[in-house]
């Protein structure tokens, strides 16, 4: 896969708010605004998606371990668009425990009569895994579907962190 394309800050649009029906590993119900001042990495996944299990979740865990939590936050978004019955919250809770996921994970809210959940549709995600990077000012800078290479992702995150630091954005 090509490296994620980093949208220049002056052309980036505000990241839309997520719609989450339940959180795991979070205090309360965090909003995007709660992460302002830090770079936010959102990892959209399904627990029965082979690419998510083999690449996406481990990559998100590496990001969370590599970058300072004062500068970069990682949040998972469980976006169920197939096999709904097999991916209930009790199953997700066991998955998060077994894979030792240490970052908050929200369950994307379903839309009445629709296969694609709310936040997935709002962001125009094509599937999972999807990696989103939101800068410290709340602008969507990266929207990458599929397997993004660690080096390219790390470079994009480091660039966005550095831009925030040079612009005087609290981090």
List the CATH number of the domain containing 122: 3.40.30.10
**78 in any annotated domain:** yes
* pLDDT of the residue at 107: 94
pTM (2 d.p.): 0.90
* pLDDT of the residue at 164: 80
* pLDDT of the residue at 87: 67
Walking along the chain (171 residues) 10 residues at a time, the average pLDDT comes out as 68 94 92 95 94 95 96 95 71 93 94 90 94 96 92 94 74 43
- Residues 99, 163: Cα–Cα separation, whole Å: 33
70 by DSSP, 3-state: which? coil
* pLDDT of the residue at 97: 94
**29 in any annotated domain:** no
* pLDDT of the residue at 171: 43
Q: Name beta bridge partners: 151.
A: none
**3 in any annotated domain:** no
**30 in any annotated domain:** no
* pLDDT of the residue at 86: 62
Number of domains in the chain: 1
Structural domain that includes position 125: 9-24+36-166
**31 in any annotated domain:** no
Whether omega before 123 lies within 30 degrees of 0, making that bond cis, reads no
**1 in any annotated domain:** no
Q: Which residue has the tokens 């299990």?
A: 53
* pLDDT of the residue at 84: 61
Q: Name beta bridge partners: 106.
A: 23, 77
**121 in any annotated domain:** yes
Half-sphere exposure of 30 (CA within 13 A, CB side): 22
* pLDDT of the residue at 83: 64
């Amino acid at each position: 896969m090509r490296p994620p394309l980093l949208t220049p800050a002056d052309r980036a649009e505000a990241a839309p708010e997520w719609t989450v029906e339940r959180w795991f590993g979070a205090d309360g119900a965090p909003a995007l605004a709660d992460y302002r001042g830090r770079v936010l990495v959102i990892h959209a996944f399904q627990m029965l998606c082979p690419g998510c299990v083999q690449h996406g979740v481990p990559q998100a865990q590496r990001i969370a371990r590599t970058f300072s939590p004062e500068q970069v936050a990682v949040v998972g978004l469980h976006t169920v668009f197939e096999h709904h019955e097999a991916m209930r919250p009790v199953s997700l809770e066991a998955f998060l425990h077994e894979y030792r996921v240490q970052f908050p994970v929200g369950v994307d809210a379903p839309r009445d009569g629709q296969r694609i959940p709310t936040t997935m549709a709002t962001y125009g995600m094509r599937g999972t895994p999807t990696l989103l990077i939101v800068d410290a000012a709340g602008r969507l800078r990266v929207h990458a579907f599929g397997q993004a290479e660690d080096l390219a992702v790390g470079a994009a995150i480091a660039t966005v962190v550095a831009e925030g630091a040079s612009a005087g954005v609290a981090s």
